[in-house]
Amino acid sequence: MKREIHASVKDEQLIKKRRSQMIRGAVSLFKQKGFHRTTTREIAQASGFSIGTLYEYIRTKEDVLYLVCDSIYEEVSERLGRMDLDKGTLASLKIGISHYFKVMDDMQDEVLVMYQEAKALSPEALPYVLKKELEMVGMFEQLINCCVEKGELDIGKEHQQLLAHNIFVQGQMWGFRRWALKKAFSIDDYIKLQTDLLFSGIKGYQPQV
């Protein structure tokens, strides 16, 4: 599933180093002007090497986008992976959400970039990215499901699944709607308020059958 991006250069160490320079440069450019308005020359320059060198490590401009997206998911996954998914307490769920939201806050720019540019990936690369997303949603589903199994939570399968999506989107939302949210809330406010809404719902309401 994971696409191997072709490099002409053999030295794996070097590839890693150059690509990391590349990703850093590209994220900063994509953030400012988006993928389409950024030229390969600019990416090369921001990466600290020449256009010729850039093409020693990728085959097409889209490869850069893929590398960027991949690296972002990698980092998010990695940071979320540290959570204990199987505790099965509401407290641990709450901690998980809070942790995720904080990661999203740290990676605002990256999230924004991915959010806006991922659709520019080719039809071959897109599925991999979407799969990664589902994996992450899956983490929240697992977190929630454990609570249900431990009897801490009483919601159906479908509610669980949608809840996981909601949490995931609310994390991203902090990134892509920050033009509106940041005016009103700090990240800590945001975490507190979202948690309240998620957990307590709206008082007095009874779901109808």
Residues contributing to the site for a copy of itself (CB under 8 A): 34, 36, 90, 116, 119-120, 130, 133-134, 137, 152-155, 158-159, 161-163, 165-166, 169-170, 173, 177, 179-181, 184-185, 189-190, 193-207
CB under 8 Å to 195, separation ≥6 — which residues?
94, 97, 98
98 binds DNA per the rule CB under 7 A: no
Taking the complex as a whole, the smallest distance from the CB of residue 46 to DNA amounts, in Å, to 12
For residues 35 and 177, give the distance between their C-alpha atoms in angstroms, rounded to a whole number: 19
In a 10 Å sphere around its CB, with 0-12 CB exposed, 13-18 middle and 19+ buried, how is residue 129 labelled? Answer: buried
Binding mask 2-41 for DNA (x = CB under 7 A): ------xxxx--x---x------------------xxxxx
Choice between 20 and 33, CB closer to a copy of itself = 33
Residue with tokens 């902090």: 174
For residues 103 and 106, give the distance between their C-alpha atoms in angstroms, rounded to a whole number: 5
Taking the complex as a whole, the smallest distance from the CB of residue 27 to a copy of itself amounts, in Å, to 15
> Which among a copy of itself, DNA, none contacts residue 148 (Cβ within 5 to 8 A by kind)?
none
| Type of residue at 174 | W
For residues 107 and 71, give the distance between their C-alpha atoms in angstroms, rounded to a whole number: 12
Taking the complex as a whole, the smallest distance from the CB of residue 30 to a copy of itself amounts, in Å, to 11
